Amino acid sequence: MKRRVVLVDDHDLFRAGVRSELGDVVEIVGEAGSVAEAVPLIRELDPDVVLLDVHLPDGGGHAVIAQVAPERPGVRFLALSVSDAAEDVIDVIRAGARGYVTKSISGADLIDAVRRTADGDAVFSPRLAGFVLDAFRSGEAAVDPELDTLTAREREVLQLIARGYRYKEIAARLHLSVKTVETHVSAVLRKLQLSNRHELTRWAAERRLI
Amino acid sequence: MSSPYRLPLALPGLRRAEGDGAIAGVCAGIARSLRVDATLVRLTFALLAFAGGAGVAAYAGAWLALATENGPRPSPRRRLLGYAALAVAGAIALRGFGFSDSLIWPATLCGAGILLARGRSGIPVVVGLSLAVLGVIVFVDQNASGNGRDAAFESSAVAIALLLVLGPWAWRLAAERDAERTARIRSQERSEMAARVHDSVLQTLALVQREAGDSRRVAALARRQERELRAWLYPDPRTDGAGLASAMDAAATEVEELHGVPVELVRTGDVPLDDRLEALVLAAREAMANAAQHSGADQISAFVDVGEDEVAIFVRDRGGGFDPEAVAVDAHGIAESIRGRMTRAGGTAALTSSTDGTEVELRLGRHA
């Protein structure tokens, strides 16, 4: 069964590119170029996965997640961006995106990421893993009650993702099952999402990210 | 650019707020300009109406003299008529409050002068100024006793008039200059942006069009442009441009440009460079260059992890891999540039290779 995907991106060219790369593997059921277009479309189509641009002309991708997620808990969001700015990553992951990949991702990797997002797994690009490691780094020195520290295993998994390892390779290296690796990554994602806005702003400010 | 307090007479944005008003929007407009409640202004006008009808005259004058929010300025004639009505209103009001004529007429002259001087062009300002000076002189003339009239008194009267007329006018000018300055800064930013886009992005696009046949070259060009633009748009606040992070950025960019293979560089943290860390960067650069040249992979991953005790750099490719033993003899790059360098710096280098690709692992303690 093909996954049903909605593309939300304000660049027609980029949408066309993604469509031609994914078109055979997944079913692209709808496209939108703004928050205002995307919200009713996703509500109506109830897709498996929404590929969501972080930057949209009438608000960020996080606005789409915030408006849709409460009513459509089954819809999963994968953020795509050309931006490296840490705030963008914070916003979209905080809002509930299951992952974050940069737009330079290869077609094969994007297909894999969509599949994993649809299965409910967290999709960490090496860049996101590096960012998250950075975020939790000082968390172990200065005890931050809101931002739980990572376990040694979670840290190990994130480091391997940052080094460019795929989940399967991580599993082989750490003698774990792929499912366990995915569980660790999801746990990291949850720890990020659980911490409240205020705390996130504070740690970002302390780490001079914003 | 707005100040919380506005000099009432300057009232730069005074317009009739026709939509919000009860009659012609005069009170609503004044209230908006003063940032007070409209009811307060209406009450003032109502009270003034009892002072011999001054409020009515003032309202009529303002109606005539003021433009609506988006409408054109009223004709000069209409404005003049409005100002005259306002002056009369002022006179009536003062009289109604029991002031003597000797105060009323100078005050009216001054008021009319100030209103005229609100304009920007020269002649109304000069006329307004003259009226105000005249008003003050008349006041002095009528109130001072014959003996008290001396030169000092006259000149202070002129100074007061100047202050009354030129104060609001200067205030307005200053506000306008501030607005102009903001606009100028904005336009400077815009032209800086345009220059940057022209020098980098447009040049790259031109190159891309010319070399459209060579996909590797095009990818490398795009990649380089992306890095440049990214560094400019999102400067990394965690690096000061002189630490390990920047050195690794530069090394990765060099390898990309030299060999045309993209390097996906991920890094956490930053430390100031020293001789040992420079050796680490050089070793990492060699590892990236090796991967780009020999692995056949279309992308290289590099991860810089600055830990509490050590700095680790991992360079990984997904190429065909090789047997380290078999090439060890002539692999000067690995033996000398990577292993030797790391050993001398007090660190370690490990290499693992399989058919899934190759990874070089460099580790260096932070404290020698």
Contact A164 B316 (CB under 8 A): yes
H-type helices in chain A, by residue range?
A: 12-22, 35-45, 61-68, 86-95, 107-118, 126-141, 152-162, 167-174, 178-194, 197-206
CB contact under 8 A, B268 and A133: yes
Q: Residue B227: closest CA among chain A residues belongs to which residue?
A: A84
DSSP state of B197: I
Is residue B299 within 8 Å of residue B315, measured between CB atoms? no
pLDDT at B42 over 80: yes
Nearest to A130 among B237, B267, B318 (CB): B267
CB B41 within 8 A of CB B27: yes
From residue B359, give the alpha-carbon distance in Å to each of A164, B59, B272, B284, B349: 10, 84, 26, 11, 10
CB contacts of A127 in chain B (<8 Å) are: 264, 266
Out of A104, A163, A208, whose CB is closest to B303?
A163
**In 3D, which of B116, B110, B118, B115 has the Cα closest to residue B175?**
B118
* Number of residues that this document lists for chain A: 210
Alpha helices (runs of H) in A46-125, residue ranges in sequence order: 61-68, 86-95, 107-118
Q: Which residues of chain A have pLDDT under 50?
A: 139-145
Q: How far is CA B353 from CA B29, B179, B183, B325, B361, in A?
A: 78, 64, 59, 11, 11
Residue contact B269–A134, C-beta within 8 A = yes
Neighboring chain A residues of B215 at a CB cutoff of 8 Å: none
> Residue B2: is its pLDDT beyond 80?
no
Q: What DSSP character marks residue B35?
A: T
d(CA A191, CA A193): 6
**Residue from A163, A165, A206, A207 whose CB has the most chain B CBs within 10 Å, to mutate:** A163
Interface contact A208, partner B, CB < 8 A: yes
Predicted pLDDT at B157: 66
pLDDT value at residue A205: 63
Give φ, ψ of A53 to 5 degrees.
Answer: -70, 140
pLDDT grade for B1, boundaries at 50, 70 and 90: very low
* Beta strands A123-124 and A99-102, pairing class: parallel
CA closest to A156 among chain B residues: B305
Of the listed ranges A138-152, B32-46, B124-138, the one predicted with least confidence: A138-152
pLDDT tens track for B236-268: 666 666 788 889 988 998 888 888 888 888 888
pLDDT in tens, B214-235: 887 888 788 888 878 877 777 7
The residue type of B152 is: A
**Using one digit for the tens of pLDDT, what is the confidence trace for A101-159?**
888 788 888 898 898 899 888 888 888 888 788 777 654 433 344 556 788 899 899 99
